[in-house]
Amino acid sequence: MKWHEMGAEEAIEALHSNDREGLGQEEARKRKSRYGTNELKEAEKPSAILLFLAQFKDFMVVVLLGATLISGLLGEYIDAIAIIAIVLLNGILGYYQERRAEKSLEALKELSAPQVAVLREGEWRKCPSKELVPGDVVKFAAGDRIGADVRLLSARGLEIEESALTGESVPAVKSVEPLYSGNPGLGDLVNLAFMGTLVTRGSGTGVVIGTGMGTAMGKIADLIQNAETMITPLQRRLEQLGKILIIVALLLTVLVVGIGVLQGHEMYEMFLAGVSLAVAAIPEGLPAIVTVALSLGVQRMIKQNSIVRKLPAVETLGCASVICSDKTGTMTQNKMTVVKIWASALEWDVTGTGYSPEGGFFRNDKKIIPAENKYLQQILTFGALCNSARLFEKEGVYALDGDPTEGALLAAAAKGGLPKDKLLHNFRILEEFPFDSSRKMMSVIVEDSSGKRYAVVKGAPDVLIGQSKAALWEQKQQILSPFIRNSITQAVHSLASQALRTIAIAFKPLPSQGGITQFEAERDLIFIGLQAMIDPPRPEVKKAIRECRQAGIKTVMITGDHVITAKAIAKQLDLIPAGGRVMDGQELSTLSEEELKDAADDVYVFARVSPEHKLKIVKALQSKGHIVAMTGDGVNDAPAIKAADIGISMGITGTDVAKEASALILVDDNFATIKSAIREGRNIYENIRKFIRYLLASNVGEILVMLFAMIMGLPLPLVPIQILWVNLVTDGLPAMALGLDKPEDDLMNRKPRHPNEGVFARGLAWKVLSRGFLIGAATLIAFLVVYNREPEQLAYAQTIAFATLVMAQLIHVFDCRSERSIFERNPFGNPYLIGAVASSIVLMAVVIYYPPLQPIFHTVAIELRDWLLVLGMASIPTFLLAGSLLTRKS
């Protein structure tokens, strides 16, 4: 079909749809089953079997399997089978961990997938873009990503960036007229819009002509499978660490084996011991557990309303030292209500709440009828006409489709008996120039029933005063004299200092023929007056700001709103400490980057700024060494969001462009959610540190017990298969449970972590080595006590060593929960850990007491009295160091 050659009407008819009702649900369902979901086919995923096999390509596992082969060749079948069983068990655990991590990351992708506005059964609805079918009528505006290929039905100043398809970085200007130019290229099809391209300006509607692989994007889908790396800095560092550990482990293993052979141990025995030790020393489970901890953390964050789009952000969150946050909707509720109207030095109070048309107008506490005051009536009328929002009633409640600022203006007009639908009987809207935060105004061209045309403009008062040359003042139109200008400015200040957001309304008559540009429409205006609305702060934000301050994180408000309004809200939120200051967009523009860098630390509120300023602010703060989190919602916010260390977008009001640039999406647009995300980010990092500490100390303990024994000329204190069991089975679950630990109480009283901090910072290396040393020593002592008592019962002494090692690790795991000491936290505070430790104890007991397993694991049932020795020795490493720490403290 040559859609571009058809008229819009013709196209929609050809698709058996219409632009008033859209498709019916039933019809949409049928079409979906005929055409499939509107998705690009993803590159083939590795199958479950491949993923399972991938678990065995790990270097150490290959070594182990080699060892199995040699054992088998030497006729040691029990050893060989046991090793295979353990390797398989480990592989299955690894497979499930990876699957789980992958699943939750996939779910995440789904959550942050764009929604589209679609007309179904006469009602505009939001739905995931994969639900679109041919014939669906969709609408879009600046910041949206087009959900499918569409034939445009209407376009208002519509510009779309199509570089992904055409390579052209300048946005294409779109229109609806049919084209007849033979075989145009994609870039020339100005009456079509393509799946995946971005609306950079204006708005439009269209009918879906192609979905999924049938779209222009689908045809080149293979080219654009974007493989975003989902690896965090810590994971990268751990990979490097892993390589170093392999070398260290191999050297130590060679040392142990060398000494063992010199001391007269059998070659085969030392070979297996060497392999087991190498496996013990290398924390091969670590990367998988890190991934699981990250993905489980990400799931917890979803429950707290933040969606992580880029995994590395989880770590960076813990380093954040400044949060730059929008005011409207993030710190405030974005539930606007007009409470005062001002014109020509007269002020009226407006009552009523929400978007309901109930409420009245009062002057000096006396109720008045708006129709009796010409200016009041005009402000209300123009406020409702120059407006792209819509109020509707559903089950007795008034709701808003659109921007709350505009909703408030519609509600105010309705209270004055001037609802928009009624006004539209008398006025026709000929053109609309939408609001954007850089211009800080919007305008419409209207024609009244007598054919007179006007430009109606609404916007930030200071901007509109600048664009006006006259004002309606004392019953007539007058030149905007310095006196009138001053009076208006004073009124703005007085309203703003009451934390009210003010919108000015102005207009000008136009000739009744001919078009007009946006620039022309918005200059030489006649100023009418002001509408002032409340937007109360979100109740939880004040506390969140305080908590951030305690956590060493500065909060900065960035707003397009008036300086005085911003300051008044900041005061209510207790945002500006003594010595802190407010800077406006004008001053910001005049400062060089260097000057801003010097000033930035003292500024807590940037007001009347444009989105372009945000980038400058981010850069200034970053050059001061800050790790900056920055929020935004519009198209113009995207560069700053991208440049910030943690770009944050809004789930409700955010555009697709902002969301895609961001690392984190706030589902509820709420500032307090940023604080929760930071807390969770810090916690995830600390938990990863906890199990690194646990696993490495355990490994150090295992190596040392073998090394000491070899040096002392003793028999092997642990049988290779026992070492494997400890490492690949009993260690894993407690480590996972540490990944689920709750944050320590003082987590948000600490300073942000330095982003370059190494894995072993803050004394972690010392903790690993000292605990590891003591675990090794305690195990060896327990072994020696029993071995000296009954030298002929070697297997019994080895079983004691095995039990002591496992128990020492399982006690030590509780110590790992705190940066300070085991006595700082309730040991029962993490139920997963209790469960994990219990199951590890059971797994240990099974190989000690279950007769069929005893020959395989070379174990002997431990007598009750010897458990005293085991537990006594096992608790020494933890309690000795923790105790010494306590005495040092007191």
427: tokens are 């006025």
Binding part of the chain for ligand ATP, among 143-151, 326-334, 727-735, 881-889 by CB under 6 A, reads: 326-334
Which residue in the set 460, 528, 541, 797 belongs to the binding site for ligand ATP (CB under 6 A)?
460
Catalytic residue list contains 326: yes
Binding part of the chain for ligand ATP, among 33-41, 436-444, 617-625, 759-767 by CB under 6 A, reads: 436-444
328 lies in the site for ligand ATP, by CB under 6 A: yes
The secondary structure element, H or E, covering residue 622 is: helix 611-623
Question: CB 762 → ligand ATP: shortest distance, Å?
Answer: 37
Question: Which amino acid, residue 501?
Answer: R
435 lies in the site for ligand ATP, by CB under 6 A: yes
Cβ atoms 503, 531 nearer than 8 A: yes
The residue with its CB nearest to ligand ATP is: 560
Distance from C-alpha of 460 to C-alpha of 501, rounded to nearest angstrom:
9
- Could you give the count of Cα atoms lying within 13 Å of 642 in the half-sphere of its Cβ? 11
Cβ atoms 380, 418 nearer than 8 A: yes
Out of 326, 561, 731, 866, pick the active-site residue: 326
Return the number of the residue (205 or 405) whose C-beta is nearest ligand ATP: 405
Return the number of the residue (403 or 815) whose C-beta is nearest ligand ATP: 403
662 lies in the site for ligand ATP, by CB under 6 A: no
3 state SS for 742-804: CCCCCHHHCCCCCCCCCCCCCCHHHHHHHHHHHHHHHHHHHHHHHHHHCCCCHHHHHHHHHHH
Return the number of the residue (320 or 460) whose C-beta is nearest ligand ATP: 460
Distance from C-alpha of 563 to C-alpha of 493, rounded to nearest angstrom:
9
420 lies in the site for ligand ATP, by CB under 6 A: no
Return the number of the residue (459 or 717) whose C-beta is nearest ligand ATP: 459
Question: CB 487 → ligand ATP: shortest distance, Å?
Answer: 19
What is the distance of C-alpha 68 from the center of its chain? 46
31 lies in the site for ligand ATP, by CB under 6 A: no
678 lies in the site for ligand ATP, by CB under 6 A: no
List of residues 6+ apart from 191 with CB closer than 8 A: 4, 8, 151, 152, 174, 175, 176, 177, 178, 179
560 lies in the site for ligand ATP, by CB under 6 A: yes
Distance from C-alpha of 201 to C-alpha of 221, rounded to nearest angstrom:
26
437 lies in the site for ligand ATP, by CB under 6 A: yes
Dihedral sign for Cα 835, 840, 843, 844, please. negative
Question: CB 775 → ligand ATP: shortest distance, Å?
Answer: 54
Which residue in the set 314, 441, 617, 811 belongs to the binding site for ligand ATP (CB under 6 A)?
441
Which residue in the set 130, 327, 616, 812 belongs to the binding site for ligand ATP (CB under 6 A)?
327
Which residue in the set 406, 645, 686, 819 belongs to the binding site for ligand ATP (CB under 6 A)?
406
Binding part of the chain for ligand ATP, among 183-191, 432-440, 489-497, 867-875 by CB under 6 A, reads: 432-440
Return the number of the residue (304 or 610) whose C-beta is nearest ligand ATP: 610
Which residue in the set 11, 153, 343, 503 belongs to the binding site for ligand ATP (CB under 6 A)?
503
Question: CB 650 → ligand ATP: shortest distance, Å?
Answer: 9
321 lies in the site for ligand ATP, by CB under 6 A: no
Beta-strand pair 468-473/525-534? parallel
586: tokens are 């004008």
559 lies in the site for ligand ATP, by CB under 6 A: yes
**Residue where the block lists tokens 């802190």:** 580
229: tokens are 């790396």
- Binding residues for ligand ATP, rule CB under 6 A, total 20
405 lies in the site for ligand ATP, by CB under 6 A: yes
Return the number of the residue (141 or 871) whose C-beta is nearest ligand ATP: 141
Return the number of the residue (561 or 702) whose C-beta is nearest ligand ATP: 561
The number of helices, as runs of H, and strands, as runs of E, in the chain is: 33, 28
Q: Find the largest Cα–Cα distance for the chain.
A: 115
Cβ atoms 685, 664 nearer than 8 A: no
Which residue in the set 79, 136, 403, 669 belongs to the binding site for ligand ATP (CB under 6 A)?
403
Question: CB 577 → ligand ATP: shortest distance, Å?
Answer: 21
Burial class of 736 by CB neighbour count within 10 A (0 to 12, 13 to 18, 19+): buried
Return the number of the residue (355 or 685) whose C-beta is nearest ligand ATP: 355
Secondary structure letter of residue 330 according to DSSP:
T
Binding part of the chain for ligand ATP, among 26-34, 453-461, 687-695, 826-834 by CB under 6 A, reads: 453-461
Question: CB 458 → ligand ATP: shortest distance, Å?
Answer: 5
Question: Which amino acid, residue 263?
Answer: Q
Binding part of the chain for ligand ATP, among 172-180, 398-406, 844-852, 863-871 by CB under 6 A, reads: 398-406
432 lies in the site for ligand ATP, by CB under 6 A: no
Binding part of the chain for ligand ATP, among 120-128, 267-275, 434-442, 492-500 by CB under 6 A, reads: 434-442
Binding part of the chain for ligand ATP, among 185-193, 297-305, 322-330, 658-666 by CB under 6 A, reads: 322-330
439: tokens are 């211009």
Distance from C-alpha of 203 to C-alpha of 197, rounded to nearest angstrom:
14
List of residues 6+ apart from 184 with CB closer than 8 A: 4
Binding part of the chain for ligand ATP, among 320-328, 576-584, 638-646, 862-870 by CB under 6 A, reads: 320-328
**Residue where the block lists tokens 């019962």:** 793
Return the number of the residue (496 or 719) whose C-beta is nearest ligand ATP: 496
58 lies in the site for ligand ATP, by CB under 6 A: no
Cβ atoms 563, 607 nearer than 8 A: yes
Q: At what angle do helices 794-815 and 864-889 cross, to 10 degrees?
A: 30
Burial class of 406 by CB neighbour count within 10 A (0 to 12, 13 to 18, 19+): buried
Distance from C-alpha of 243 to C-alpha of 253, rounded to nearest angstrom:
15
Positions in 344-373 near ligand ATP (CB under 6 A): none
Return the number of the residue (562 or 858) whose C-beta is nearest ligand ATP: 562
Burial class of 588 by CB neighbour count within 10 A (0 to 12, 13 to 18, 19+): buried
Return the number of the residue (352 or 537) whose C-beta is nearest ligand ATP: 537
Return the number of the residue (560 or 877) whose C-beta is nearest ligand ATP: 560
Distance from C-alpha of 468 to C-alpha of 479, rounded to nearest angstrom:
9
Question: Which amino acid, residue 536?
Answer: P
223: tokens are 């080219």
Dihedral sign for Cα 474, 476, 477, 479, please. negative
Q: SS3 of 190, please?
A: coil
Helix, strand, coil share (%) of the chain residues, nearest 5: 50, 20, 30
Binding mask 140-179 for ligand ATP (x = CB under 6 A): ----------------------------------------
Which residue in the set 442, 640, 678, 707 belongs to the binding site for ligand ATP (CB under 6 A)?
442
Residue 210's DSSP bridge partners are 149
Which residue in the set 459, 585, 732, 776 belongs to the binding site for ligand ATP (CB under 6 A)?
459
Distance from C-alpha of 368 to C-alpha of 813, rounded to nearest angstrom:
73
Question: CB 605 → ligand ATP: shortest distance, Å?
Answer: 10
Return the number of the residue (5 or 668) whose C-beta is nearest ligand ATP: 668
Binding part of the chain for ligand ATP, among 115-123, 210-218, 316-324, 553-561 by CB under 6 A, reads: 553-561
- Could you give the count of Cα atoms lying within 13 Å of 224 in the half-sphere of its Cβ? 17
> Site residues (CB under 6 A) for ligand ATP?
326-328, 403, 405-406, 435, 437, 440-442, 458-460, 501, 503, 559-562
Would you name the residues annotated as active-site residues? 326
